[in-house]
Structures are given as C-alpha cells and as structure tokens.
Amino acid sequence: MFETLSDRLNDTFGKLNRKGRLTEPDVDNAMREVRRALLEADVNFKVVKEFVASVRERAIGQDVLRSLTPAQTVIGIVNEELIAVLGAEQVPLNTPVRPPQIILMVGLNGAGKTTHTGKLAVHLRKQGKNPLMVAADVYRPAAINQLQSLGKQVNVAVYEEGTKADPVEISRNAIRFANERGFNPVIIDTAGRLQIDQALMQELVQIRDAVQPSEILLVADAMTGQEAVGVAEEFNARLDLTGLVLTKMDGDARGGAALSIRAVTGIPIKFIGTGEKLDALEPFHPDRLAGRILGMGDVVSLIERAQEQTDEQEAERLQNRMMKGQFDLEDFLDQLQKIKKMGPLSQIMEMIPGLSQQMRQAKAQISDDDYKQVEAIIRGMTPWERRYPERIDHGRRRRIARGSGVERQDVNRLLSQFKEMQKMMGQFGQMAKKGKMPKNLPFDL
C-alpha cells in the first residue's frame, strides 16, 4: 500500500543524477522522504524530527553529496541509525537477587497480554524453569478462563481467586503460593487499561509495590499509531518499565511504534510476538525491525512463511527430483498449492528485497488469477499426463482445454513453459554436480 523508502529515494536522486552534482537542498529533499517513510511506519512525529536531524547531519558529513549511489548511502545511514536507536544488543530478562523471578505484564486493552503471558511461560519452561501464571485480570469477562485454558494447553499452573478478589491481594497471595510450592518464575497477567485511567493505573502501582517484580513488561501492539509514545511514557512514569514486548508482528504493520517507545522511554525491546501459536515468541532482532520500518523486504519472514508450508524431508526429496530433471506437473501443482497458502502473490513479492522497483510491473503480469488458470489446467489432466507431460498429444490437449475451460493455446503455452522449466532445472542439476552452484537452491520457495 505504501511505497518503500528506497523506491522514493531512488526517484528523488534519480532526477538529480543527470545533473551530475548534488547540493544540500537535494539532501533536504531526501530527508523529506525519510521523514515521510518513518511517519507512514507510525513512528511518532517528535521522534521522527530528532531522528531525521541526526541522519541529516551524518548524511552531509558522510559526503552523500559526492556519493555515486546517494540513495544507497542515505538508506545505509538511516538503517544504521535505526539500529542504534532500537538497541543493537539483546537484553535478557532481569534475574532477581532472590527468587522467585516476578514478571508483571501490563498494557492497553487488546494488546495481547494474556496470550503473551502464556507464550512467556512456554518460553521459560523451555529453559527448564517451573513457571506459574497469575490471573489478576478480574474485569474482562472470561479473562481468567482464558488464562486457565492456556495453562491447560501448555501444561503450566495457573493461580486464580475468581473475579471477586482484589488484584493486589491475588498477586500477593500468588507469590506466597509460588514460594510454598516452588514455582519460579511467576508471571502476573493484569487487566488491560488506558494509561489515563487513574484508578486502574494506581492498582498497578499497588501490585508492583506489593510483589516487587524484577520485570515489568509493557505489551504493545505493533499496529499502534502515534499514541504509542503517550501510552509508554505514562506507563513508564508510573511503573518504571523494564522492557517491551511487541505483539502481532506476524501481520504487515511496519512497527514504528517500537522505535517511538524505545526512543522516548529507553526501555529495551525484549520479545517479539509473531503468531497465535504459543511458541510464537522470538527474541528481538534490531536489524530485522529496522528493515521492516523502512518497508524493505523481509526475507527472513518470507523464509519463515515458506517453512511453515514445507517440511524438510519433502523439500529435500523435491530438490533431488529437480536436480535429476524428474520434476513433473504433479510436483509443480503441489508447489503452487504451497505458495498459495503463503498468501497472495503480491504480498509475497513485497517481502523480497530489491524486487520492489520492478514489482508494480511484475504485479500486473502475474496475478493470483493466472495461478487459478494453471491450476485448472493441471487438474484437468490425468495422473499419467501429469507425470509425462511431454507425451500429451493434440487430442489430449483438446480434452484438457475443454475440461478446464480454457483455450487450447493456453494448454500449449503451459506445456511449453513447463518444458523450458524442466530443461533449466536439469542444467542447474548438472552445474551443481560440477560444484558451480550452491547446493541449496531456493526452489522450494
């Protein structure tokens, strides 16, 4: 939906390239694009202002003016600065002097606190710990049931006292309970609240004072807009946050909110939530987030999506078949299905870096509807035909065309394209044998 920064910078500098020399106003134009890209990624406007100022300073100092590839130079600087602000190193969870380790989860309504309480418990148990989840959200209907249900799913104990009890009391009792039974760490799930809700914010302060947590994590939605700063500032002022969990990063939000929160409060981003499954919790990678904020391709996510769809053995079997030139239409159809499951084609292509320039063109050429036609044609074939496409004669072609509702030349085109593809794969196979090509071709993408 939004153009990427590299596209825009290429446009900006492209016009100037013919002129041969860049001037300071040209850099200002580029900075305008940087500013726009960040605002479209929902980075807070105050943060953007400071950020752009420091990028501008470096850009002029680093001779963008004389650079042969000014767009790349600017993007390089922006990227480095982003990573610097986001925090280059991984910050682990705080370990308290005295057990148990107490983690307090706070945030707005619907940010994903309860789900991430569950995810964090799974994560900690993988490290050999014995976590306890505490249901201190007594307000939202069935919030306690939700935590209990999660607990059952992942086999983690849940402490609750129903909806009539006081969240401060629940938390205090939960710590006592954990100490008696040897649970450590203790993760307290609190109710979602607005940062301006005085009564509920006070309740959080009381919980904090009662249990002295070693970790207070703000759970924030990656889709949050400009208000992310106001929210984080207020929670931080009241509670002294120790970290941020950025949720719903499996969507396509650019996640500029994380940059804002980090820049304003200085709290480290500790985890990224990347899916609905309870193991979808990842440590934070500043470079990946920086690329994403800039709308640059996200290859890692692409590969992850591909991995969701294929298992390794299957991929290896397929690769062997390709190398030997045995790849048939049956395999091809199978691959098509997998790509389809990864999402609409246009979206997949947006994730491939460097493709964006030509993307709009390519988008016009390949649409999801073309897929459908190819699929229909292959489905119109018998298994024998799919296995030996080279033996499909005229009569069969006519039948396939009629059966799949296309013209005969469509069938012809598919078959000749597929023949080309097979030939190419065969060549790759030969080259791989001679060691000219890397062994793992990304064909299973």
Partner 1 sequence: MVLKKLFRRQAEPDVLLDKGLEKTRRGVFLEITRLFDRSQIDDELFEDLEMLLIQADVGWDVSQQLVRELQQRIRDERIVSPAETREVLRLEMIQLLELASRNRKVKILQRGVPFVILVTGVNGAGKTTSIAKLAQYHKNFGRSVMLAAGDTFRAAAIDQLNVWGKRLDCPVIAHQQGADPGAVVFDAMQAAHNRNVDVLIVDTAGRLHTKHNLMAELQKLRKIMQKHVPEAPQEVLLIIDATTGQNGLVQANEFTKSVEITDIMISKLDGTSKGGIAFSVAKELGTPISYIGTGEQLTDLAEFRPDTYVDSLFFGEGEGF
* Sites of contact with partner 1 (CB under 8 A): 1-2, 36, 39-42, 45, 108-112, 114-115, 118, 139-143, 145-150, 153, 194-199, 221-228, 230-231, 248, 250-254, 256-257, 276, 340-344, 347
CA distance 141 to 358: 50
- What's the closest the beta carbon of residue 255 comes to partner 1, in angstroms? 9
CA distance 261 to 232: 6
Q: Which CB, 223 or 296, lies closer to partner 1?
A: 223
- What's the closest the beta carbon of residue 319 comes to partner 1, in angstroms? 25
CA distance 22 to 8: 16
Q: Which CB, 112 or 167, lies closer to partner 1?
A: 112
CA distance 402 to 410: 11
Q: Which CB, 36 or 172, lies closer to partner 1?
A: 36
- What's the closest the beta carbon of residue 334 comes to partner 1, in angstroms? 17
Residue 2 Cα distances to 38, 100, 132, 287, angstroms: 11, 46, 43, 20
Q: Which CB, 197 or 279, lies closer to partner 1?
A: 197
Residue-by-residue DSSP string for 27-91: HHHHHHHHHHHHHHTT--HHHHHHHHHHHHHHHHHTTGGG-SSHHHHHHHHHHHHHHHHH-SS--
Q: Smallest Cα–Cα separation from 344: which of 368, 318, 317, 370?
A: 368
Strand positions, DSSP E, 314-422: none
Q: What is the DSSP letter of 267?
A: P
Angle (CA) 282-439-313 rounded to 5° is 60
- What's the closest the beta carbon of residue 195 comes to partner 1, in angstroms? 7
- What's the closest the beta carbon of residue 23 comes to partner 1, in angstroms? 22
Largest CA distance in the chain: 82
Q: Which CB, 355 or 421, lies closer to partner 1?
A: 355
Q: Which two tokens stand for residue 215?
A: 């970790």
**Buried b or exposed e, range 229-264, using 16+ CB within 10 angstroms:** bebbeebbebbebbbbbbbbbbebbbbbbbbbbbbb
Q: Which CB, 228 or 245, lies closer to partner 1?
A: 228
How long, in residues, is the chain?
A: 445
Q: Which CB, 194 or 303, lies closer to partner 1?
A: 194
Q: Which CB, 80 or 161, lies closer to partner 1?
A: 161
CA distance 427 to 437: 11
- What's the closest the beta carbon of residue 56 comes to partner 1, in angstroms? 17
Q: Which CB, 111 or 178, lies closer to partner 1?
A: 111
- What's the closest the beta carbon of residue 196 comes to partner 1, in angstroms? 4
Residues contacting residue 12 through CB under 8 Å, at least 6 positions apart: 26, 29, 30, 33, 71
CA distance 277 to 119: 8
- What's the closest the beta carbon of residue 10 comes to partner 1, in angstroms? 19
The three-state secondary structure class of 222 is coil
- What's the closest the beta carbon of residue 152 comes to partner 1, in angstroms? 9
- What's the closest the beta carbon of residue 45 comes to partner 1, in angstroms? 5
Q: Which two tokens stand for residue 77?
A: 């600087």
Q: Which CB, 75 or 147, lies closer to partner 1?
A: 147
Q: Which CB, 228 or 401, lies closer to partner 1?
A: 228
- Contact between 443 and 318 under an 8 Å Cβ cutoff? The reply is yes
- What's the closest the beta carbon of residue 432 comes to partner 1, in angstroms? 33
CA distance 220 to 246: 5
